[in-house]
Amino acid sequence: MVLGRGRSQHRQQAIRANNAIKENQKLREELRRTETIVSIYTKHRWWMEEQASRSYEMIRFTEYRPSQIHRVVNDRDAIFLGIGSYGSVLQCKIGEKTVAVKIPNNRDSRKPLPSMREFNQEANKRALKMQVAILKKIRHQNLVTLIGACPERQILIYEFLPNGSLKDHLTESGQRRRFTWKRRVRAASSICSALIFLHNTEPYPIVHGNLKTSNILFSKDNGFARMLIGSDTHKTQLDVSALGIILLQLVTAQEPKDLRKNVLSKLGDIIRFQGKSMEQQHEVLKSIVDPDLKKCQLDDAAEMLFLGLKCSDPNEKHRPDLAADVWPLIEEMKSSASHRQG
């Protein structure tokens, strides 16, 4: 009986010790998360103060009448940029300011709204009104600014960023060669920072919901990546998974379809990978990493690949926390890349 009681006490002590370790881990994670959010919001405050002093246009939102939009999009200097999931995108001038005008699919700014048979007019109006109400208030150094809208024509007006999208930088060979490891890690940091900002807004988190390389644009002045945002009602985990795929694309320069499966089949899990010799690890990485990447430390590439795999894990419970786990790691990579001048 004494022996049994001793075993029971030992088991209880082990359970208490294990619980204490778990609690300590949670506290450390929460501390990292808090430090990250404080850092990101501090940088955001500085940026907002700088923008407010430099350009009132950056913090002002304008509602336009259909007649104003008609003149803008039919100006001879308007340039068709392409078609996205929302609709056509034009580069236009409003006064002296160059803007990007997004016109919904099957819409012409001169024509009246479609009939009920073509499309649920009122539902789309309400959806756009809700979207604009959210997006017009958001200002962040890594988010493309919504500077205006024409609700009657369901047209959105964004600041214009001239340096192309992340997709352009990863798919066009000339741009890809100039898209160094240092710039890729900095892009990853910008995207992650913007997501943390959105996911921690009050009173409710904002979910991007359509995060992909064509929605990551580059500014002219500093080359920072800035997300073209929507607002969605999905869970924030959707954005975490999408970020994971983008991290894999930054390393491989491959299309997203089946990318996770292909990388995982070559890389394996982290335990199996670390069990290989250094030479074997490098051979595996060389078969995955974008060959146009120069001065890329393969160890850093492996770290970003495994981070991308974790973020895009099909089981969302296995995905890391952006603020506590992902951003600190990416910041370490960014610091390392800056020191190497890659």
SS (H, E, C) the chain: CHHHHHHHHHHHHHHHHHHHHHHHHHHHHHHHHHHHHHHHHHHHHHHHHHHHHHCHHHCCCEECCHHHHHHHHCCCCCEEEEECCCEEEEEEEECCEEEEEEEECCCCCCCCCCCCCCCCHHHHHHHHHHHHHHHCCCCCCCECCEEEEEHHHCEEEEECCCCCEHHHHHHCHHHHHHCCHHHHHHHHHHHHHHHHHHHCCCCCCCECCCCCHHHEEECCCCCCEEECCCCECCCCHHHHHHHHHHHHHHHHCCCCCCHHHHHHHHHCCHHHHHCCCHHHHHHHHHCCCCCCCCCCCHHHHHHHHHHHHHHCCCCHHHCCCHHHHHHHHHHHHHHHHHHHCC
**What Cα–Cα distance (Å) separates residue 337 from each residue in 64, 162, 330?**
44, 25, 10
Residue owning tokens 């892009």:
187
Cβ partners under 8 Å of residue 149, min gap 6: 61, 63, 64, 128, 132, 136, 155, 156, 157
CA nearest to 342, candidates 304, 313, 314 = 304
Angle at which helix 181-199 crosses helix 2-54, to 10 degrees, equals: 100
**Is 102 part of any known ligand binding site?**
yes
Q: Residues comprising the binding site for ATP?
A: 102
Q: Residues comprising the binding site?
A: 102
